Amino acid sequence: MAYHNKLYKQLSCRDFGADCDFTVRAKTEEEVLEYGYDHSCRAHAKCGSSPKTDERMRSLITNVWV
């Protein structure tokens, strides 16, 4: 029997067009964006947020039940 009782927001770097296996999963879109920006800065040297990037990230976020 499977338990699917928690909804998470998920975003993977690959969805974003990067050749990278990083996937972030968090409870809110805001957290996903926060982790996403952090990863982008550390791993891809793309630092700083913008409304346009926010929008793109939100559009790529998927809901997953864990």
**Which residues lie near Zn ion (CB under 5 A)?**
13, 18, 20, 22, 43
- Give start and end residues of each alpha helix (H) in 1-66: 29-44, 51-60
Under 8 Å between Cβ of 9 and 28: yes
Minimum Å gap between C-beta 42 and Zn ion is 9
Q: Which is nearer to Zn ion, 22 or 35 (CB)?
A: 22
Map residue 21 onto helix, strand or coil.
coil
Q: Which is nearer to Zn ion, 27 or 42 (CB)?
A: 42
Q: In the complex, what is the shortest distance from the CB of residue 51 to Zn ion, in angstroms, rounded to a whole number?
A: 21
Of residues 30, 28, 23, the one with CA closest to residue 9: 28
Shortest distance, position 52 Cβ to Zn ion, whole Å: 18
